[in-house]
Amino acid sequence: MAEPVAGAPAALTRKDFESDQEVRWCPGCGDYSVLANIQRVLPEFGIPRENFVFVSGIGCSSRFPYYMNTYGFHTIHGRAPAFATGIKLARPELSVWVVTGDGDGLSIGGNHLLHAIRRNVDLQIMLFNNRIYGLTKGQFSPTSRLGMKNKSIPMGVIDHPVDPIGFALGAGATFVARVIDVDAVGLQEVLRRAYAHRGTAFIEILQNCPVFNDGEWQALEDRRTRADAGLPLEHGKPLVFGAKGRRRGIRIEHGVPHVVELADDADPVAAGVTVHDERVERPAYAFSLASLTPPDFPTPTGVLRAVERPSYDRLLEEQVATARQQRGPGDLRALLHSGDTWTVE
């Protein structure tokens, strides 16, 4: 989140955030929907357009900054979190957003993503997970499912995939959310929440790549199946999912999830269904949510975890302020003359 700016800026609209560049994703790419929803939400935040910076790595989704009429930096493969960290530490008043892919963020850039998250730098990190390398034309990525066949492994993927949410939680993330590319309402709500969070807000976006991995998230996107396949999270509300007649809940017991069958009119809490609490300090609960995967469980979407911890940029500013308080502003002459000196006449 950026500091509110004094003097309300003129009201902005979605149009103000559209750049003059032609958007060049493939037709039907999930990236379009995310772009549109970001452009819709940003004007609500009431900060001037020039205070937004979009930073990306390399990949299809990483073209994102070119399409935003804000400041933007399309960097190198995997390193966007490190560039963004430098920007935020230099200028804490800016609102800095990171756009990365599953290959960009979790393969070549896994290290930087880990460290940005554990430092809790005040960034919004959107990881577009299409479970494939799009820009390089269809090799498997670190999130590709076991057995999936593609160009670089025709006999099927044999490396165990990484789960972005589990990865973020393992790195100590203070804010973790998952959204579906085409779910405008869910997406916008999570973007608002992410913006308001002070610290790293990590968002996994389940994104369809119709060209190289079409239908990867179909069960969650399709109107007919999504009620059964997804588990929309809401703080303080029980973990309930399923269409009418197939209503179910999730009970998490000692960290182990169970599905609880529910009559349409049953009280889920009375039936032992767990009530979602995104503010649980210990990450075990969020890990239990992360462990909900098909086919046995629905996929949770929304905010899984949102806790408070001082952000790195704030702590750094505090050190600078403390140093100034204790020693006054830097004095170059005093520095050069510190220690033993002698005069030659």
Partner 1 sequence: MPTAQAPPAARAPKPHQRIDRVAIRFAGDSGDGMQLTGTKFTESTALAGNDLSTLPDFPAEIRAPAGTLAGVSGFQIHFSSTDVRTPADQPDVLVAMNPAALKANLGDVRPGGMVIINSDAFSDKSLERAGYQDDPLPDARERFRLVEIPLTRLTFEALADLNLSQREGARSKNFFALGLMYWLYGRPLESTLRWIASRFSGEIAEANRRVLMAGIHFGETSELFPVSFEVPPAKIEPGLYRNITGNTALAWGAVAASVQMERPLFVGAYPITPASDVLHELAKHRHFGIRTFQAEDEIAAAAAAIGAAFAGQLALTVTSGPGFLLKQEALNLAVMTELPIVAVDVQRAGPSTGMPTKTEQADLLMTIHGRSSDSPVPVLAPATPGECFSVMIEAFRIAVKYMTPVVVLSDGYLANSAEPWKIPALETLPRTPVVYHSEREDFSPYRRVPDTLARPWAIPGTPGLEHRIGGIEKQDVSGNVSYLPANHQRMTDLRHEKVERIAAEFPPLEPRGAGSGRLLVVGWGGTHGAIATAVDEARAAGREVAHLHLRQLNPLPRDLGAVLARFERVLVPELNAGQLVRILRDRYLVPAQSYSKVQGQPFHVSELRAAIDRALEA
Map the footprint of ligand TPP across residues 5-64, applying CB under 6 A: 58-61
Pairing between β-strand 175-180 and β-strand 299-306 as defined by DSSP bridges: antiparallel
Min separation Cβ 134 and ligand TPP, Å:
3
Q: Which does 337 bind (CB under 5 to 8 A by kind): partner 1, ligand SF4, ligand TPP, none?
A: partner 1
DSSP state of 180: E
Q: Which does 104 bind (CB under 5 to 8 A by kind): ligand TPP, partner 1, ligand SF4, none?
A: ligand TPP
**Can you tell me whether residue 127 is helix, strand or coil?**
strand
Contacts of 182-189 with CB under 8 Å at 24 or more apart are 182/30, 182/33, 182/208, 182/221, 183/221, 183/301, 184/33, 184/36, 184/37, 186/232, 186/301, 186/302, 187/33, 187/34, 187/37, 188/37, 188/40, 188/41, 189/302
DSSP string, 68-112: BSSEEEE--TT-HHHHHHHHHHH-TTSEEEEEEEHHIIIIITHHH
Q: Does 102 bind ligand TPP (CB under 6 A)?
A: yes
Pairing between β-strand 240-241 and β-strand 248-253 as defined by DSSP bridges: antiparallel
Q: Is 278 left (phi over 0), alpha (psi -120 to 50) or beta?
A: alpha
- Residues 44 and 13 sit within 8 Å (Cβ to Cβ): no
Residue from the set 65, 72, 81, 134 that interacts with ligand TPP by CB under 6 A: 134
By C-beta, is 111 or 225 nearer to partner 1? Answer: 111
Residue from the set 19, 23, 136, 138 that interacts with ligand TPP by CB under 6 A: 136
Using alpha carbons, select from 174, 283, 186, 295 the residue that is nearest to residue 233.
Answer: 186
Q: Which does 344 bind (CB under 5 to 8 A by kind): ligand TPP, partner 1, ligand SF4, none?
A: partner 1
Q: Which residues of this protein are in contact with ligand SF4, per CB under 6 A?
A: 25-26, 29, 31, 60, 130, 134, 209-212
Q: Does 213 bind ligand TPP (CB under 6 A)?
A: no
Q: Which residues pair with 178 in a beta bridge?
A: 204, 302
Q: Does 221 bind ligand TPP (CB under 6 A)?
A: no
Q: Which does 97 bind (CB under 5 to 8 A by kind): partner 1, ligand TPP, ligand SF4, none?
A: none
By C-beta, is 68 or 286 nearer to ligand TPP? Answer: 68
Q: What is the CA radius of gyration of the chain?
A: 23
Q: Does 128 bind ligand TPP (CB under 6 A)?
A: yes
Q: Which residues of this protein are in contact with partner 1, per CB under 8 A?
A: 19, 21, 48-56, 58, 65-66, 68-76, 79, 82-91, 93-94, 111-112, 114-115, 316, 319-320, 322-324, 326-330, 332-333, 335-337, 339-345
Q: Which does 320 bind (CB under 5 to 8 A by kind): ligand TPP, ligand SF4, partner 1, none?
A: partner 1
Q: Which does 25 bind (CB under 5 to 8 A by kind): partner 1, ligand SF4, ligand TPP, none?
A: ligand SF4
Length of the chain: 345
Using alpha carbons, select from 76, 75, 100 the residue that is nearest to residue 200.
Answer: 100
> Position of tokens 């049953």?
266
Q: Which does 136 bind (CB under 5 to 8 A by kind): ligand SF4, ligand TPP, partner 1, none?
A: ligand TPP
Min separation Cβ 43 and ligand SF4, Å:
26
**Can you tell me whether residue 161 is helix, strand or coil?**
coil
Min separation Cβ 104 and ligand SF4, Å:
12
- Judged by the rule CB under 6 A, the positions of this chain that interact with ligand TPP are 58-61, 77, 101-104, 128, 130, 132-136, 141
